[in-house]
Amino acid sequence: MEQLTIYEAIQLIRINEDAISTQFQVWLTISFSTIVALFAGRSLLTAKIKWLVTLLYLLSSMAIVATSLYFAEGNAQITAMLAERGVTLAPPIFASISYFVLLIAGMATTVYFIHIKLNDSP
């Protein structure tokens, strides 16, 4: 099997980074649409439905995390291959930590919004 050129390897890393960014955007869309839908239809939801929504939300969030980890692992392997050839790339540590913290905080906040009890009186 042919090895990737350095240019192709770097391009593949950039494609994976774009895929991770897209996964994060999908997660943001899921989170905001869940919150909006819950506030719009809160009076129609039973406790059982709220827990089903919570489960579905958490499962979809975990699927996005798993896919992003898959892409990140691919980047790590490509980066290791490039390091063997003497090419060093700085890992996006700050961006990775920021995405992860926002993801955890956003998941917790969305689950909170799913189960919040609102007062109907002013």
- Give tens-digit pLDDT for 11-45: 999 999 999 999 999 999 999 999 999 888 888 88
Report DSSP letters for 24-41, one per residue.
HHHHHHHHHHHHHHHHHH
Per-residue pLDDT tens over the stretch 60-82: 999 999 999 999 899 999 999 99
pTM score of the predicted model: 0.82
The single-letter DSSP state of residue 42 is G
Structural contact between residues 53 and 38, judged by C-beta atoms closer than 8 angstroms? yes
The reported pLDDT for the residue numbered 120 is: 57
Residue 53's CB: how many other CB atoms inside 10 A?
18
